[in-house]
Amino acid sequence: MAKLRGRGYASVNYPTGMNLGGDPSQALIHATTTGTFVVSLSSVDLGQGLKTVVAQCAAETLGLPVENILVDTADTDTGPHCMGTFASRGTHRVGNAVIMAAAEAREVMLAVAAEELEVDAGDLETDGTGFVQVTGAREKRIHITDLALAAHFTHGRTISGRGIFLKEKNDPVPETGEMDPDSCQAHACTVAVVEVDDETGVVEVLRMHNAYEIGRALNPAMVAQQVEGGAWMGMSHALFEATEPYYPARDHGPTDFNEYLMPGAADIPEYHNAILERPAGNGPFGAKGIGEMTANAPIPAIANAIFDACGVRLDTMPFTPERVLRGLDELRADRSPTKE
């Protein structure tokens, strides 16, 4: 009896967004009297960090600190339209819409600043710290708080903008089947190193090496969290989680999360991640979607690693000790001299 080590590879390419009947998302943005820019969305942050990335896109476009951005994901009754948070579309669709809205608001912001400073709007720039200033003459400037107050109470101007990004519906060409169902595609590869106990059938994932090409990482720390969280989910699907069927009866199934198997802290392997940036021409600052795909490649990578370790090819999840042991028994039976 031994613990057998194996290595498995798997790669994936994943579309950003969906075709549907068109795939639009809208964004609205306006400045308060104190210079906070409120981004209004119906897009939902499920914990993947959408609000942070949206704030970054708005701040970068406006030329202001991210602390000046407030993201309001209200609801679908009062917010602008969004198709939903799915298909790894949030950063791409919503980010583009926010950039459009922020660019429109920036024009108004500079126009009001030009009146306050008595210069041409084309001579102005933002310094990234909250000031609008004359290019090459830093001493002639105005802070966004004073600017917003002047817009409201002196000029009667609303510093605001609207944006909508639409991936138009695309139908297949009847003769060839050719079509454009998504906006861009991200790519990834996972290498999993596992150890298989051929006496108990237990599989332990020792290491995962993940390489992701995602256009541009707008927030590298959050990308790493997405990759590692997705790898955990993939490993959980591969080795632990099951819904139906339960054997030998449904009564054996879990009734709550105390009984539902998932990896614990001691099961988490070493992660080694590499992020490759190949900016997408239609993405917000070049970004593509990195969401659901992070859970995909680990599953076949683990399956291939099990095969490399002990020769058992599993194609039904989860890869339980029972299935590993049954596979080993079949291999021994196939090699048995009596079978000949």
Residue 325 contacts by C-beta under 8 Å, 6 or more apart in sequence? 200, 201
How far is Cα 266 from Cα 9, in angstroms, rounded to an integer? 23
- CA pair distance 140, 131, nearest whole angstrom: 10
What does R_g of the chain's alpha carbons equal in angstroms? 26
Number of helices and strands in the chain (H, E): 6, 11
Which residues, listed in sequence order, are joined to residue 23 by a DSSP beta bridge?
167
Asked if 330 is an active-site residue, the reply is: no
H or E, element range at 73: strand 69-73
Q: Give the helix ranges, DSSP H, for the chain.
A: 50-62, 95-117, 144-153, 220-239, 298-310, 321-335
Give bridge partners of residue 213 from the DSSP assignment.
187, 276
Closest CA to 162 of 80, 55, 263: 80
Which candidate in 292, 322, 330, 340 is catalytic?
292
CA distance 24 to 15: 16
| 230's tokens | 């997705």
What DSSP letter does each residue of 278-331 carry, written as one string? ---TTSGGG----SGGGGTTHHHHHHHHHHHHHS----SSS--HHHHHHHHHHH
Angular region, 128: left φ>0, alpha ψ -120 to 50, beta rest? left
Q: Name the residue among 87, 104, 103, 13 with its Cα closest to residue 43.
A: 87
Instruction: State both tokens at 129.
Output: 């710290």
Catalytic residues: 292
